[in-house]
């Protein structure tokens, strides 16, 4: 599961090292990646919202 | 082979020889290649119609003052131009590419639901007729802008109902098309064609199809609420009845921003096929391209507010959408770098498909940058609804999506028709298009910065100079598209046979495993992919 989150994190950035990607391809299932992506998006939204709250305080 | 099996084999072949010909072939076809061809010709027809509207707009704007059209008609022109280009030209062109290429690129015999495929296509025809015919009804065609904002849209006549119906039909067609594409990709891949071996065009369409399924119903809901506000006494968007017109904007742009990615993701796929072929190097960072496309798609759902910075959202809302929008530019930028890295130290040649791809790369990047400028809330408050926005979205849609469509057509024409197009004329089409395009749209940045509002038929004198240039460029661009039409027709009729592999760097299944031209039926037995 941590692996899926890592893969999703790097995808938000848009890059992935070849060796690590090969590792992903072996270990990760699509379901895990999609779940991690949805959770990460939620975290991303909350983090941005927190940042916004911080600067508008 | 046993006699029975042989007989069956024979019957099978006869069956093929007897497919209907003439008009019936096209009406009843369930063949993905025929349907792809129908979509592409439909799209080109709509492109010409939308183009005529654009040239009428630019003719009126050639000089300040009102010369050619009255203001109501002018507003109808901008509205229907936008709708026709988005829903009639760009989107169907990509569905046409999907039909032609996805089955061949994954080693499938056809799309998963061939009859539904036929129906998806034949739905877009009445929708297009509704849109175009709405010019001829009392009150004239929709004049609200392609974003269909209330309250303006509540007030106009029957043409709005025709537009709403057209949008519904197009939505149904897109959803059916998407279901077909997703099912085909997930279920009909040849043995050995794992997801991460699929060409990027297939990946980008898979993700696009999910985006379509997610947002077309949202658009359908929004226009249905417009319809009930118009005719059945509801007040979803009517402040007098307790509704809120800005709610429409939120719903529309929740559809609208993913929609712009629907139009650009397949372009990324096409360019990712062409640049490696002409650089004679594999695509740099295939996996990161797939990952970046997926995250662009997900993040595209949380940035819609950048279209609404001026409607009076709380500061926190504006800031949220500003940050989110700027962050999406990161995976997009990574893609640009990947394409550049693919070309780096490649042995490149610049035939027409590559020219259009390089043109895409340079000019789409300009559009991305102007997007970033608009994403800065305080800047957008002055630039919103000016020509700067018009310049931005034409850089991403014309020199982005449309140039990628041209690149793809030139690249696959030999595979589709078996003939080679005229390279000199193709190059002429490219150069005329780039030059005309930039003369037409680059000055619109200046006009916008100087404060010229969009969607107006007349303007203050200080804008005259650049408007004249913009109109000249638009006419150059517009008429150069007739060169494209000529090149395609000449290619089909020339009988100038293409080589089996006209592009030595092309390495997807349709080039490596199939003859040129691709026969009517391909991969009846799936290839085995190593
Ligand atoms: C780096 C990526 C991008 C950013 C940061 C960006 C940002 C923006 C912003 C802030 C606006 C609103 C401007 C305003 O109305 O005041 C806008 C408008 C628009 N963008 Fe982009 N954009 C990007 C990419 C794209 C792409 C790829 C497309 C299409 C293929 C696109 C199509 C449009 C369209 C059609 C509009 C105008 C809609 C309208 O008001 O009629 N953009 N963009
Ligand atoms: Cu947007």
Domain range for A6 is 2-55
CB B478, CB B376: distance < 8 Å: no
CB B16, CB B520: distance < 8 Å: yes
Helix H, strand E, coil C: the string for B5-48 is HHHHHHHHHHHHHCCCCHHHHHHHCCCHHHHHHHHHHHHHHHHH
Q: Is the CB of B371 under 6 A from ligand 1?
A: yes
B291-339 pLDDT tens trace:
889 889 988 999 999 999 999 999 999 999 999 999 888 888 889 999 9
- Backbone φ and ψ of A27, nearest 5°: -95, -35
Coil, strand or helix: which one is B419? strand
Partner residue opposite B295 with nearest CB, options A11, A52, A56: A11
Q: What is the number of alpha carbons within 13 Å of residue B288 lying toward its C-beta?
A: 25
The predicted structure's pLDDT at residue B4:
42
Task: Single out the residue of B240, B237, B183, B170 nearest to residue B209, CA to CA.
Answer: B183
Partner residue opposite B331 with nearest CB, options A7, A12, A53: A12
What ipTM was predicted for this assembly? 0.83
Q: Do B295 and A37 touch (CB under 8 A)?
A: yes
List the residue whose alpha carbon is closest to atom 36 of ligand 1. Answer: B393
Residue B315 near chain A (CB below 8 Å): yes
B162-219 pLDDT tens trace:
999 999 999 999 999 999 999 999 999 999 999 889 999 999 999 999 999 999 999 9
Task: Single out the residue of B32, B24, B301, B46 nearest to residue B177, CA to CA.
Answer: B32
Closest CA in chain B for residue A54: B316
pLDDT at B151 over 80: yes
B213-230 pLDDT tens trace:
999 999 999 999 999 999
B240-279 pLDDT tens trace:
999 999 999 999 999 999 999 999 999 999 999 999 999 9
As for how many domains chain A has, the answer is 1
Atom nearest to B386 CA in ligand 1: 16
pLDDT confidence band for B14 (50 / 70 / 90): very low
**B11-32 per-residue burial string, b: 16 or more CB within 10 A, e: under 16:** eeeeeeeeeeeeeeebeebbbb
How far is residue B288 from each of residues A13, B270, B284, B299, measured CA to CA in Å? 9, 16, 9, 16
Helices and strands (DSSP H and E) totals, chain B? 19, 0
Coil, strand or helix: which one is B386? strand
How far is residue B110 from each of residues B30, B115, B425, B507, measured CA to CA in Å? 9, 11, 33, 20
What are the extents of the domains in chain B? 28-512
How far is residue B146 from each of residues B79, B188, B250, B396, measured CA to CA in Å? 5, 37, 15, 17
Quick one: average pLDDT of B446-467? 96
Higher per-residue pLDDT: A33 or B238: B238
Quick one: average pLDDT of B34-40? 97
Q: Which residues of A are less than 8 Å from B330 in CB distance?
A: 12-14
CA–CA gap between residue B213 and residue B107 (Å, rounded):
25
CA–CA gap between residue A41 and residue B440 (Å, rounded):
39
Dihedral angle at the C-alpha atoms of A44, A48, A49, A54, nearest 10 degrees?
A: 140
Q: Which residues of A are less than 8 Å from B323 in CB distance?
A: 48, 51-52
CATH class of B28-512: mainly alpha
Quick one: average pLDDT of B405-429? 97
Element of type H or E holding B349: none
Quick one: average pLDDT of B53-66? 97
Q: Do B323 and A18 touch (CB under 8 A)?
A: no
Q: Is the CB of B142 under 6 A from ligand 1?
A: no
Catalytic residue positions of B? Answer: 81, 110, 146, 173-174, 257, 259, 261, 272, 306-307, 332, 335, 454
Structure tokens, B455: 């969607």
Q: Is the CB of B257 under 6 A from ligand 1?
A: no
Per-residue model confidence as pLDDT tens for chain A (57 residues): 788 888 888 777 766 777 777 777 777 787 888 888 889 889 999 999 999 999 988
Q: Is the CB of B474 under 6 A from ligand 1?
A: no
Task: Tell me the CA–centroid distance for residue B393 and ligand 1, in Å.
Answer: 6
pLDDT at B117 over 80: yes
**A18-38 per-residue burial string, b: 16 or more CB within 10 A, e: under 16:** eeebeebeeebeeebbeebbe
DSSP state string for B312-329: ---HHHHHHHHHHHHHHH
Residue A54 near chain B (CB below 8 Å): no
User: Which residues, 6+ apart, have CB-to-CB distance to B485 below 8 Å?
Assistant: B44
Q: Do B331 and A30 touch (CB under 8 A)?
A: no
Task: Single out the residue of B88, B96, B108 nearest to residue B36, CA to CA.
Answer: B96
CA–CA gap between residue B474 and residue B55 (Å, rounded):
7
Residue identified by tokens 């709380």 is: B314
pTM over 0.90: yes
B272-298 pLDDT tens trace:
999 999 999 999 988 888 888 988 998
DSSP state string for B70-116: -HHHHHHHHHHHHHIIIIIIIHHHHHHHHHHHHHHHHT-SS-S-HHH
Quote the minimal CA–CA distance from A57 to chain B in Å: 10
**B263-294 per-residue burial string, b: 16 or more CB within 10 A, e: under 16:** bbbbbbbbbbbbbbbbbebebbbbbbbbbbbb
User: Which residues, 6+ apart, have CB-to-CB distance to B272 below 8 Å?
Assistant: B199, B200, B201, B204, B283, B289, B339
């Amino acid at each position: 599961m941590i692996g899926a989150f890592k893969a999703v994190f790097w995808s938000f950035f848009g890059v992935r090292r070849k060796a690590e990607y090969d590792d992903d391809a072996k270990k990760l299932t699509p379901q895990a990646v999609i779940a991690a992506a949805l959770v990460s998006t939620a975290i991303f939204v909350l983090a941005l919202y927190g940042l916004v709250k911080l600067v508008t305080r | 082979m046993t006699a029975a099996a042989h007989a069956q084999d024979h019957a099978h072949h006869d069956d093929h020889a007897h497919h209907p010909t003439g008009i019936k072939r096209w009406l009843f076809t369930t063949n993905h290649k025929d349907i792809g061809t129908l979509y592409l010709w439909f799209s080109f027809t709509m492109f010409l119609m939308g183009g005529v509207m654009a040239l009428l707009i630019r003719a009126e704007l050639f000089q300040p003052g009102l010369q050619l059209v009255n203001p109501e008609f002018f507003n109808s022109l901008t509205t229907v131009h936008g709708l026709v280009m988005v829903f009639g030209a760009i989107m169907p062109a990509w569905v046409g590419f999907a039909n032609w290429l996805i089955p061949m690129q994954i080693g499938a015999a056809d799309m998963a639901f061939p009859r539904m495929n036929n129906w998806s296509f034949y739905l877009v025809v009445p929708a297009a007729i509704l849109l175009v015919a709405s010019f001829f009804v009392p009150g004239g065609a929709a004049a609200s802008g392609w974003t269909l904002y209330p309250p303006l849209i509540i007030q106009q006549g029957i043409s709005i109902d025709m537009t709403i119906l057209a949008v519904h039909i197009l939505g149904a067609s897109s959803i059916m098309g998407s279901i077909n594409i997703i099912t085909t990709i997930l279920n009909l891949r040849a043995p050995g064609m794992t997801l991460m071996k699929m060409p990027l065009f297939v990946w980008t369409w898979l993700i696009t199809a999910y985006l379509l399924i997610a947002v077309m119903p949202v658009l359908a809901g929004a226009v249905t609420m417009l319809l009930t506000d118009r005719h059945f006494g509801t007040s979803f968007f009517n402040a007098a009845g307790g509704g809120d017109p800005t709610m429409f904007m939120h719903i529309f742009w929740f559809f609208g921003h993913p929609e712009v990615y629907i139009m650009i993701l397949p372009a990324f796929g096409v360019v990712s096929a062409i640049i490696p072929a002409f650089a004679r190097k594999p695509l740099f960072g295939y996996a990161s391209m797939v990952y970046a496309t997926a995250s662009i798609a997900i993040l595209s759902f949380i940035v819609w507010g950048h279209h609404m910075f001026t409607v009076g959202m709380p500061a926190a809302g504006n800031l949220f959408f500003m940050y989110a929008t700027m962050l999406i530019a990161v995976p997009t930028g990574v893609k640009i770098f990947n394409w550049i890295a693919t070309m780096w130290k490649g042995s490149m040649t610049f035939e027409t498909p590559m020219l259009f791809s390089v043109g895409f790369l340079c000019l789409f990047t300009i559009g991305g940058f102007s997007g970033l400028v608009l994403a800065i809330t305080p800047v957008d408050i002055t630039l919103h609804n000016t020509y700067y926005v018009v310049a931005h979205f034409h850089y991403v849609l014309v020199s982005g999506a449309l140039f990628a469509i041209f690149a793809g057509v030139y690249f696959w024409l030999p595979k589709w028709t078996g003939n080679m197009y005229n390279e000199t004329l193709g190059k002429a089409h490219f150069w005329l298009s780039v030059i005309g395009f930039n003369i037409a749209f680059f000055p619109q940045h200046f006009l916008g910065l100087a404060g010229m509002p969009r969607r107006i038929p007349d303007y203050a004198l200080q804008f005259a100079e650049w408007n004249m240039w913009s109109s000249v460029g638009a006419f150059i661009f517009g008429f150069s598209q007739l060169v494209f039409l000529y090149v395609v027709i000449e290619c089909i009729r020339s009988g100038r046979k293409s080589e089996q592999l006209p592009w030595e760097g092309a390495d997807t299944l349709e080039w490596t495993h199939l003859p040129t031209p691709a026969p009517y039926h391909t991969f009846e037995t799936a290839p085995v992919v190593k």
